[in-house]
Amino acid sequence: MKKILFIPLALLVTACSDKPVPPTELPQEIQAFVKQHFPTQTISYADKDWEWFSYKYDVTLADGTQISFDTDNVWDKVESKMAAVPTALVPAPITTYINTNFPAIAITKIDKERHGYDVDLANDLELKFNEQGALMEMDD
């Protein structure tokens, strides 16, 4: 009986682990996103992770930028250690707030959350914005 229960559990654990994916086998939406927003970068590593009956993807670019995609192949997190997050990915109210209050400080991470957006700046400030782009919290 123990063996019968172990086999489905082993299959489930194997299915839930990250699996490397060649960049050319990523969904077209993901390849197009990278080409549009990071035209000078190449994908150095990608993996897919089983997430509730569908896959999520994580991509690492040659410069170390990491991008996570949800089950609909839409970005939900971009983190860069070498360059600013592309402005086109940041909602306009957040861009306006940061340009007004922190001129010349780059956004190094943006993460879509249930409450809105978590944003990290190059000066190590962490900001939380609601869905409309209003500042809710600041932490250093």
| Tens-place pLDDT, residues 39-76 | 999 999 999 998 777 899 999 999 999 999 999 999 99
Pinpoint the residues of the chain covered by CATH 3.40.1420.30. Answer: 1-78, 84-140
CATH code for the domain defined by 84-140: 3.40.1420.30
Q: Where are the alpha helices (DSSP H) in 17-111?
A: 28-37, 92-101
Which uninterrupted H or E stretch holds 75? strand 75-79
Taking a C-beta distance cutoff of 8 angstroms, is the pair 80, 108 a contact? yes
Q: Is the pLDDT of residue 7 over 90?
A: no
Average pLDDT for the chain? 90
Strand, helix or coil for residue 29: helix
- CA 24 to CA 15: how far, in whole Å? 21
- Mean per-residue pLDDT for 105-115? 96
Q: Which fold has domain 1-78?
A: Inhibitor of vertebrate lysozyme, Ivy (3.40.1420)
